[in-house]
């Protein structure tokens, strides 16, 4: 299951379907649909290499093949683009390549995350910006990076108070394959001791297997989405969501300024995370790279790959 696009007023599951249909009718080429949706900003990640001018009807059936005479009719009989399952939750459009065999979306995300992450009401938020990087490693390495806290002192230069407070992070595996993770914010330890309101006093982190991470602060959210392009190449997208302007809110200009500052800082932090993959690319095939040594405190990385192995095996 992968999240493919943020839903605003102009982008819903239905509008994605309508956009698909409209583009098929107008242009008949899936590559054009891809480009059209990329501007919506919903993006479809699994369009095949339909680059030879083949035409499809609105159901995905192949109806036009240049130089058809050169193809075996049996190969073209009832040929169609593969279907995907699509659904909507939290303001996002999600797809599952398993199509009819897909687990229903809310069952896949699970009650814990639906309830907890649902409190932020992302469907009421607005998209501030999306930034993208092309990363020369597997998407799983990127998920690993966001599943780990251990690197923050060295890579992100967080202070000793941050590191000490993060030792009290609580993590849980929910629904067998997803994670929740709460990092106490060191500035609010006293408040946290009084009432365990994790939405206010902790950074709340949710991972929906296999490739969507929500990093929630009380006033804004980043969504990290590494999209596999090839076995060791990934398009990484980071989405910044904020709450919309209300006309009657005199404090909104202050909120906007704070979000601007947070986001500018976070783009630098995410950039540091991404830059490390240039190093991984240079070393990943080295004969000296034989094992990973992981902190005992953080089991999410181990569990993520265990789940991956279980799913592939089963
Ligand atoms: Fe990081």
At residue 79, the 3 state secondary structure works out as: coil
Amino acid 8: pLDDT: 45
- Ligand 1 centroid from CA 184, angstroms: 16
Cα(65)–Cα(267) distance, integer angstroms: 45
Q: What is the pLDDT of residue 14?
A: 54
φ, ψ of residue 151 in degrees (nearest 5): -80, -5
Report the separation in Å between the CA atom of 273 and the middle of ligand 1, taken as the mean of its atom positions. 5
Could you tell me the fold of the domain covering 110-313? Answer: Naphthalene 1,2-dioxygenase Alpha Subunit; Chain A, domain 1 (3.90.380)
Residues of the chain with CATH 3.90.380.10: 110-313
**pLDDT confidence of residue 18:** 57
Our separate counts of H helices and E strands in the chain read 12, 12
Q: How far away, in angstroms, is 126 Cα from ligand 1 center?
A: 24
Cα-to-centroid distance, 117 and ligand 1 (Å):
21
pTM, entire model: 0.81
Count CB atoms within 10 A of the CB of residue 45.
Answer: 19
Token code pair at residue 76: 């073209």
Q: Ligand 1 centroid vs 111 CA: distance in angstroms?
A: 27
Q: How far is the CA of 135 from the centre of ligand 1 (A)?
A: 15
In this prediction, residue 21 carries a pLDDT of 56
> Is residue 220 within a helix (H) or strand (E), and if so which, with residue range?
strand 220-230
State pLDDT tens for residues 152-201.
Answer: 999 999 999 999 999 999 999 999 999 999 999 999 999 999 998 999 99
At 69 the pLDDT is 94
What is the reported pLDDT for 39?
31
Per the document, the length of the chain is: 314
Could you read off the pLDDT of 268-301 as tens digits, one per residue?
A: 999 899 889 988 999 988 999 899 888 888 889 9
Percent of residues, the chain, with pLDDT higher than 70: 83
The residue ranges of the chain whose pLDDT is under 50 are 1-4, 7-11, 24, 27-49
Measured in Å, residue 154 CA sits from the centre of ligand 1 at 10
Compute the distance from residue 144 Cα to the ligand 1 centre, in Å: 10
By the 8 A CB rule, do 270 and 222 touch? yes
- Measured in Å, residue 185 CA sits from the centre of ligand 1 at 16
Q: How far is the CA of 274 from the centre of ligand 1 (A)?
A: 8
The predicted pLDDT at position 49 comes to 34
Neighbours of 291 (CB within 10 A): 5
Cα–Cα dist 53/44, whole Å = 19
Tell me, in angstroms, the distance from the centre of ligand 1 to residue 152's CA.
Answer: 6
CA of 86 to the centre of ligand 1 (A): 30
Cα-to-centroid distance, 270 and ligand 1 (Å): 6
Cα–Cα distance measured from residue 230 to residue 215, given in angstroms and rounded to the nearest whole number:
26
Cα(128)–Cα(130) distance, integer angstroms: 7
Rounded to whole angstroms, the Cα distance separating 218 from 201 reads 8
pLDDT at 16: 56
pLDDT confidence of residue 20: 55
């Amino acid at each position: 299951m992968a999240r493919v696009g943020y839903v605003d007023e102009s982008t819903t599951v239905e509008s994605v379907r309508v956009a698909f249909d409209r583009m098929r009718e107008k242009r008949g080429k899936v590559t054009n649909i891809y480009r059209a949706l990329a501007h919506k900003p919903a993006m479809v990640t699994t369009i095949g290499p339909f680059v030879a001018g083949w035409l499809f009807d609105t159901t995905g059936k192949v109806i036009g093949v240049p130089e058809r005479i050169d193809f075996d009719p049996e190969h073209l009989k009832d040929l169609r683009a593969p279907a995907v399952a699509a659904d909507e939750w939290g303001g996002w459009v999600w797809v599952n390549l398993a199509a009819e065999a897909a687990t229903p979306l809310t069952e896949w995300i699970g009650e814990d995350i639906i309830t907890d992450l649902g409190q932020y009401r992302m469907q009421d938020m607005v998209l501030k910006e999306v930034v993208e990087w092309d990363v020369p490693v597997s998407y799983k390495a990127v998920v690993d990076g966001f599943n780990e806290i251990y690197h923050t002192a060295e890579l992100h230069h967080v202070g000793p108070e941050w590191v000490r407070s993060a030792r009290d992070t609580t993590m849980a595996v929910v629904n067998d394959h997803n994670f929740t993770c709460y990092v106490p914010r060191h500035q609010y330890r006293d408040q946290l001791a009084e009432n365990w309101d994790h939405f206010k006093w902790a950074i709340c982190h949710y991972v929906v297997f296999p490739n969507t991470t929500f990093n929630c602060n009380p006033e804004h959210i980043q969504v990290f989405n590494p999209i596999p392009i090839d076995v060791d190449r990934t398009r990484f997208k980071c989405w910044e969501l904020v709450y919309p302007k209300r006309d009657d809110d005199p404090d909104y200009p202050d909120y906007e300024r704070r979000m601007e500052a947070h986001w500018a800082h976070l783009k630098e932090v995410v950039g540091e995370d991404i830059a490390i993959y240039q190093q991984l690319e240079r070393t990943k095939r080295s004969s000296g790279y034989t094992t990973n040594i992981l902190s005992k405190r953080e089991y999410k990385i181990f569990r993520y790959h265990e789940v991956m192995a279980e799913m592939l095996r089963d």
